[in-house]
């Protein structure tokens, strides 16, 4: 069983509180940020030939995309646009993982940054407070 320092425990509690107190738009932003983080780790892992770590982080990104797809409310027309975008990203992630392809990881990362940046603008336009952005 791992032993955690007081600082590690405090940080874990902070992160938990941040998630538990976040609004739905903020949670979506956190998911986008998480996907970007995992893509960055996967890219570095591929560069260093750590294929297991690359696989793990690409799969983490796939799970985020799957979650985002599953939470779409298809009664809104824009949801189909998001479905198409997430579907494309999901396919590219599988291709990136199979080939451990840094170019595809970079492409998906660019898409995730664009989606995240647009989401922040939507949040601001709707007067949702954007922390750390």
- Tell me, what DSSP letter sits at residue 8? H
DSSP secondary structure of 70-119: HT--TTSHHHHHHHHHHHHHHHHHHHHHHHT-HHHHHHHHHHHHHHHHHH
May I ask the CATH class of domain 24-125? mainly alpha
pLDDT above 70 (res 90): yes
Model pLDDT for residues 11-42, shown as the tens digit of each residue: 555 555 556 668 999 999 999 999 999 999 99
Model pLDDT for residues 56-78, shown as the tens digit of each residue: 999 999 999 999 999 999 999 99
Query: Which sequence spans correspond to the domains of the chain?
Result: 24-125
Report the distance separating Cα 101 and Cα 32, nearest Å.
Answer: 21
């Amino acid at each position: 069983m791992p032993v955690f320092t007081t600082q590690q425990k405090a940080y874990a509690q902070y992160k938990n509180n941040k998630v538990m107190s976040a609004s739905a738009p903020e949670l979506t932003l956190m998911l986008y940020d998480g996907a970007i983080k995992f893509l960055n780790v996967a890219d570095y892992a591929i560069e260093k030939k750590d294929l297991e770590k690359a696989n793990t982080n690409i799969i983490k990104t796939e799970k985020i995309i799957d979650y985002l797809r599953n939470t779409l409310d298809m009664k809104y027309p824009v949801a189909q646009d998001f479905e198409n975008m997430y579907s494309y990203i999901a396919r590219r992630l599988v291709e990136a993982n199979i080939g451990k392809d840094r170019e595809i990881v970079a492409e998906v990362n660019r898409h995730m940054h664009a989606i995240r940046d647009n989401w922040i603008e939507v949040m601001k336009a709707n007067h949702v407070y954007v922390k750390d952005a």
